[in-house]
Amino acid sequence: MPTTDPIEKINKMTTRLQREASKDSLMLNMGPSHPAMHGTIRIMLELDGERILNSEVEVGYLHRGFEKTCENKTYFNLLPYTDRMNYVSPLINNLGYVMTMEKMLGVEVPEKAQYIRVIMSELSRISDHLTCIAAMAMECGAFTILLYKMKAREFIWNVFEQTTGARMTTSYIRIGGVKSDLHPDYEDVLNTAIDETRKVLKDISGLLDKNKIFLNRTRDIAVVTPETAINYGWTGPCLRSTGVYYDLRKSFPYLIYDQMDFDVPLGERGDNFDRYMVRMKEMEQSLRIIEQAMKKIPKSAAQTMANVMEPAEAIKASREKKVEKRIKLSPNLEGSEQDKYQDIFTKNKKIIVPPKEDTYSSIEGLISHFKFFMNEHGIRPPKGEVYFSVEGGNGELGYYIVSDGTDKPYRLHVRAPCFHVMAALEEMIHGHYVADVIPTFGSVNMIGGELDR
């Protein structure tokens, strides 16, 4: 009689490794509920003593049906799902999707919006690397690193929160621009974030770079040659740690990255330590990019905020006479800043959310609002297919969208960078000790949402 108990069922499942392993060796299961497996990976190990003879990595524990769900959502509505893919750097995920759509629609984005996008995606990259190294070091036993890095990340997320209204799942970068302008006081918060991050990076370098325990666990462990890395389709910090110069921001510059002055840090050996080091150096470079972008960003929109009144003031003044000045609305309210739209949104009115001022004050505005959100209307790209990729936290984050001319994608596929990295994990840990699995797995920065989608 077939069993219906799910636990019994899963116990009866055999894996490839269980069938192929020799009877003398010890089988060990790691994960999915294991502190170092991030809750979503299961590694089966065939051991001789502590040495790994063979292994099998099982993914798919966080499969949330992202791609299929997107086929049933309009192009505007599926944006929040992209946030939750690589949830450590959601803004880069937004950017990848949005820029693919812009390529499909043939839209130009104003310069200011491009600068905002660069600042936001570099901040996301820093938070991604911070989290990766924090988790890696914590799993090796260095809990201090986690506390320090999370401190720095909080300051970075303050910048996100101030401008976008959310800490991580922001949906801030929209098709045709960004949701709202930078907060008028963003510079102070951003400067604090940069300073604090610099301090933390210096501390971490001091704690880890020459730390004997850390070096023993990372140096010359899981060495990957450039050939192997390229064969597996690696990109991003993991590929650069093997010494291959490939960064989409340099190779195929998008936004305003070609005007920015930054280096691409490279590793030499392609081991765990190089992957750690490349991430540390990349954060420095990201901070440099942000500082340059802060200096160069066009100031036009910030001035328009000068001639506005606080709501409380306006109510008080309106008791005596009619108030002519504009009332200051929260910058986080969608569409509350019509006069800024020219700076942060494209001129193509059909693909952006109409400003709320129009929606509430004129019948044409109301109609355009409905036309944007109504089923079978809204953003309708031409028939065809398009691929575009940006440099995500883990590497080349590509979106492939097939459009059949309706308001929903016919097919949406994501080229997730860590999927390719994870494919090489079995080869990386082959021949090493069980304890080496943990820093190796930590250094490749597996993100479940992106891996399993």
Partner 1 sequence: MKGNFITTKFNYILGWARKFSLFHYPFVTACCGMEYMSAACAHFDIDRFGAGWTRFSPRQSDMMLVVGTISHKLAPVLRTVYDQMTEPKWVIAFGTCTVSGGIYDNYAVVQGIDRIIPVDVYLPGCPPRPDTVLDALIKLQEKIQSQEQDWRWKKRK
> What Cα–Cα distance (Å) separates residue 140 from each residue in 29, 118, 210, 216, 223?
19, 33, 15, 11, 18
Pattern 63-92, binding to partner 1, x per CB under 8 A? xxx--xx----------xx--x--xx----
List the x/- string, 197-236, binding to partner 1 by CB under 8 A: ----------------------------------------
CA distance 252 to 247: 8
Task: Pull the structure tokens for residue 449.
Answer: 């949402």
Of 144-152, 193-201, 294-302, 362-370, the segment contacting partner 1 by CB under 8 A is: 144-152
State which residue, 68 or 219, has the beta carbon closest to partner 1. 68
| Residue labelled with tokens 């959601």 | 90
- Compare residues 16 and 347 and give the one whose CB is closer to partner 1: 16
Q: Which DSSP state fits 270? A: -
Q: Which is nearer to partner 1, 39 or 405 (CB)?
A: 39
Cα separations (Å) of 178 from 95, 181, 393? 10, 7, 20
Q: Where are the alpha helices (DSSP H) in 297-424?
A: 300-304, 311-318, 341-344, 356-361, 363-373, 417-423
Beta bridge partners of 387: 400
Instruction: Choose between 109 and 200: whose C-beta lies nearer to partner 1.
Output: 200
Strand partners, 57: 43
Write down the least CB distance from residue 97 to partner 1, Å: 15
Strand 51-58 to strand 173-174: parallel, antiparallel, or no bridges (unpaired)?
unpaired
Q: How far is CA 293 from CA 113, 118, 120, 343, 433, in A?
A: 11, 8, 10, 16, 45
Nearest to 443 by CA among 137, 144, 214: 137
Can you tell me the distance from the alpha carbon of 327 to that of 305, in angstroms, rounded to the nearest whole number?
10
Nearer to partner 1, 200 or 297 (CB): 200
Classify the C-alpha dihedral 292-298-301-302 as positive or negative: positive
Closest CB to partner 1 among residues 13, 312: 13
Binding track, positions 25-64, relative to partner 1; x by CB under 8 A? -------xxxx--xxx-------------------xxxxx
Nearer to partner 1, 92 or 109 (CB): 92
Which 389-418 positions form the footprint of partner 1 (CB under 8 A)?
A: none
Q: How far is the CB of 6 from partner 1 (least distance, A)?
A: 4
What's the CA gap between 148 and 130, in Å, rounded? 9
| Cβ 82 to partner 1 shortest distance, Å | 12
Segment interacting with partner 1 (CB under 8 A) among 142-150, 287-295, 338-346, 378-386: 142-150
Q: How far is the CB of 293 from partner 1 (least distance, A)?
A: 25
Give min distance, CB of 303 to partner 1, in A. Answer: 33
Phi-psi region of 141 (alpha: psi -120 to 50; beta: other; left: phi over 0): left
Our CB check for partner 1 shows the closer of 131 and 292 to be 131
SS3 labels along 160-221: HHHHHCCCCCCCCEECCEECCCCCCCHHHHHHHHHHHHHHHHHHHHHHHCCCHHHHHHHCCC
When binding is defined by CB under 8 A, the residue of 222, 353, 448, 451 that contacts partner 1 is 448
Counting residues that bind partner 1 (by CB under 8 A) gives 38
Shortest Å distance, C-beta 236 to partner 1: 19
Q: Which two tokens stand for residue 34?
A: 């294991």
Choice between 61 and 387, CB closer to partner 1: 61
Output the smallest distance, CB 30 to partner 1, in A: 12
Q: How far is the CB of 249 from partner 1 (least distance, A)?
A: 24
Closer of 17 and 104 to partner 1 (Cβ):
17
Antiparallel, parallel or unpaired: β 308-309 and 177-178 = unpaired
Could you say whether residue 449 binds partner 1 (CB under 8 A)? yes
CB of 430 to partner 1, least distance (A): 26
Please report, as residue ranges, which positions from 146 to 175 form the binding site for partner 1 (by CB under 8 A): 146-147, 150-151, 153-154, 157, 167-169
Query: What is d(CA 404, CA 69) in angstroms, rounded to the nearest whole number?
Result: 17
The nearer residue to partner 1, 84 or 288, going by C-beta atoms, is 84
Hunting for tokens 């210096």 — which residue is that?
202
Q: Of 149 and 340, which CB lies nearer to partner 1 in the complex structure? A: 149
Query: To the nearest whole angstrom, how small is the minimum distance from the Cβ of residue 58 to partner 1?
Result: 9
Contact between 62 and 432 (Cβ < 8 Å)? no
Least distance between partner 1 and beta carbon 73 (Å) = 10
Q: Helix, strand, or coil here: 432?
A: coil
Identify the burial level of 10 via C-beta atoms within 10 angstroms of its C-beta, where 0-12 means exposed, 13-18 middle and 19 or more buried: exposed
- Of 7, 306, 312, 363, which one interacts with partner 1 (CB under 8 A)? 7
Binding region for partner 1 (CB under 8 A): 6-7, 9-10, 32-35, 38-40, 60-65, 68-69, 80-81, 84, 87-88, 131, 134, 146-147, 150-151, 153-154, 157, 167-169, 448-449
